[in-house]
Structure 1
């Protein structure tokens, strides 16, 4: 399958849902991933990217949380709604590990998912936090885009 913006978007969509499920029930990653492949039409999904996001977030959760925690305005992780937390972790993973994906794309995709699945106005919060994370993790790219 050819990797396109659409197949990547669908990968992010399903990865966010898988991360959410993992956060909520703690089932093993391979079980959740198998359920997604069984229960969803993955023919138009970049499944390698889905796998990378899902497993990458799970493997690096603490380090990812540390990247955005300073930007939560002293809001503890436990107070974040689970969808927002999943989106912040996923997008932070991309910002940290996928420098081939422009930071604006990462943020835009996360904001769109927050609009679709998050609490009311969570997209504004996600946008604000990720903008600060991008400034930290992608300073050169971020500053070049701002000048």
Structure 2
């Protein structure tokens, strides 16, 4: 499983957990295709995002203008949470790569408008946290 697919599957698992309250292991199992093995990166994204959700949500909430985190769409919220985790905790991936991957993932699920929304929230969060996109 490459990193792009891992991000897709992680977003799906996080979405399912958020929407239905599923347990992490159950959500992970349900998003994997037949004969698809979960990668370490996929597991790290789901587990890490889940563990740091409160901290991540505080950062996201502080950077929303005219929105609340509960008003965000489940898919956008899952993608933004995952991207925030990756930018904060996964040191071997440049912030700009994570940023761009999150926007592309949002566009794939929700079109250009979702991509713009994710872009805005992540841009503001990067600025607030002083994360260098070229890191």
Q: Do they superpose with TM above 0.5?
A: yes
Deviation of 1:100 (Å): 1.6
Contact 1:95–1:137 (CA<8 Å) still a contact in 2?
Answer: no
> 5+ unaligned residues in a row in structure 2: which ranges?
none
Match of 2:113 among 121, 124, 133: 121
Higher-Rg member (1/2): 1
SS state at 2:22 partner: coil
CA distance in 1, matches of 2:126, 2:63: 11
CA distance in 1, matches of 2:89, 2:51: 12
Contact 1:96–1:137 (CA<8 Å) still a contact in 2?
Answer: no
SS state at 1:96 partner: helix
Residues paired across the two proteins, number: 134
CA distance in 1, matches of 2:45, 2:64: 22
Q: TM-score, normalised by structure 2?
A: 0.89
> 5+ unaligned residues in a row in structure 1: which ranges?
2-6
Q: TM-score, normalised by structure 1?
A: 0.82
Deviation of 1:120 (Å): 5.2
Distance 1:136 1:30, change over 3 A: same
CA distance in 1, matches of 2:126, 2:36: 30
Q: Which residue of 2 aligns with 1:25?
A: 20
